[in-house]
Amino acid sequence: KQEVTQIPAALSVPEGENLVLNCSFTDSAIYNLQWFRQDPGKGLTSLLLIQSSQREQTSGRLNASLDKSSGRSTLYIAASQPGDSATYLCAAPADNYGQNFVFGPGTRLSVLP
């Protein structure tokens, strides 16, 4: 059964720093992985979907990578801003049918002005 973990659980950085959030999954036979952002009391906002064939995906200051062999994905945030403060979650497919997914517990990020 797919299990997803994220480290660190929480992170506090000064504005302007570059940072890396980590996601690990147990079943490496995945074909994609998705990163989300969640603001307090709100729903999830999709950030990036990486297909296994892509290995990397970029959107603005965000870059996500996927290494199936090591069971890891990283989300890189460049030049962090206070508006980036949120919880970041990754989600991997639950099984080979591809329609359901398993979430990590999230990393709570605070960017201090």
Binding site for other proteins (CB under 8 A): 31-32, 34, 36, 41-46, 49, 89, 91, 93, 98-101, 103-106
| Closest CB 43 distance from other proteins, rounded Å | 4
Q: Is the peptide bond before 40 cis (omega within 30 degrees of 0)?
A: no
| Closest CB 96 distance from other proteins, rounded Å | 8
Amino acid at 56: E
In whole angstroms, give the CA distance from residue 105 to residue 17. 23
Nearer to other proteins, 43 or 83 (CB): 43
